[in-house]
């Protein structure tokens, strides 16, 4: 009698484990690392101009009274090229876009802008991921909503898809108030 009860428990434990595996396998893998800097002010930084086309970017440019979209990107990053049409749309809708080019070179960037357009008012160069560490960014592309006082209000991880545009515009508007 006792032997039967034990094997029943083992069986239940086995199926519970299988159930757990099935559940975890069914969930899409999410390995993004969110920044914990949301709600905090962007630390002081000053990045030189990445190309001759735009001036560089510093923390005082971000805290100039009006909200910005800060796009962390690179010319070598495939999703960054794929999100270019969406950034152009955001710019046409009046979003002030500033960029940070991560581990990039002026020649490559110039070619990138020529092919995909340059929606930015300022582009800072970050050759050693310094700004990424400052704001808790773990890859490219990422897009941050930053309010007029330089406080990070939102982090969008991965490429901006067409369906993300209304959300980003709404958050930008929200950051205005």
Binding mask 94-133 for another protein (x = CB under 8 A): --------xxxx---------------------xxxx-xx
Burial class for 50, CB neighbours closer than 10 Å (0-12, 13-18, 19+): buried
Residue listed under structure tokens 């800097």: 37
Q: Which of 3, 4, 7, 23 binds another protein (CB under 8 A)?
A: 23
Rounded Cα gap, residues 176 and 171, in angstroms: 9
Q: Which of 4, 22, 94, 177 binds another protein (CB under 8 A)?
A: 22
Q: Which of 2, 27, 39, 176 binds another protein (CB under 8 A)?
A: 27
Binding mask 30-59 for another protein (x = CB under 8 A): xxxxxxxx----------------------
Q: Could you tell me if 75 and 104 are in contact, meaning their C-beta atoms sit under 8 angstroms apart?
A: yes
Tokens in use for 151?
A: 């406080």
- # of chain residues touching another protein (CB under 8 A): 40
Tokens in use for 68?
A: 């910005």
Instruction: Count Cα neighbours of 134 within 13 Å in the Cβ-side half-sphere.
Output: 19
Angle between helix 84-92 and helix 165-176 axes, rounded to 10 deg: 40
For the bound state, the minimum distance from the C-beta of residue 86 to another protein, rounded and expressed in Å, comes to 15
Q: Which of 5, 6, 26, 92 binds another protein (CB under 8 A)?
A: 26
Which residues would be at the binding site for another protein (CB under 8 A)?
Answer: 22-23, 25-37, 74, 76-79, 102-105, 127-130, 132-136, 138-141, 157-159
């Amino acid at each position: 009698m006792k032997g039967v009860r034990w094997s029943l428990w083992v069986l239940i434990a086995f199926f519970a484990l299988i159930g757990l595996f099935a559940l975890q396998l069914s969930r899409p893998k999410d390995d993004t690392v969110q920044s914990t800097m949301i709600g905090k002010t962007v630390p002081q930084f000053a990045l030189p101009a990445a190309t001759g086309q735009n001036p560089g970017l510093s923390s005082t440019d971000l805290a100039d009274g009006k909200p910005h979209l800060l796009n962390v990107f690179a010319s070598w990053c495939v999703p960054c090229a794929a999100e270019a049409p969406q950034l152009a749309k955001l710019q046409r809708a009046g979003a002030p876009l500033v960029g940070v080019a991560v581990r990039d070179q002026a020649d490559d960037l110039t070619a990138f802008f020529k092919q995909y357009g340059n929606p930015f008012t300022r582009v800072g160069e970050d050759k050693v991921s310094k700004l990424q560490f400052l704001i808790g960014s773990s890859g490219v592309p990422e897009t941050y909503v930053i309010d007029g006082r330089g406080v990070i209000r939102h982090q969008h991880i991965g490429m901006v898809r067409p369906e993300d545009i209304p959300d980003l515009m709404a958050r930008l508007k929200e950051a205005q108030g």
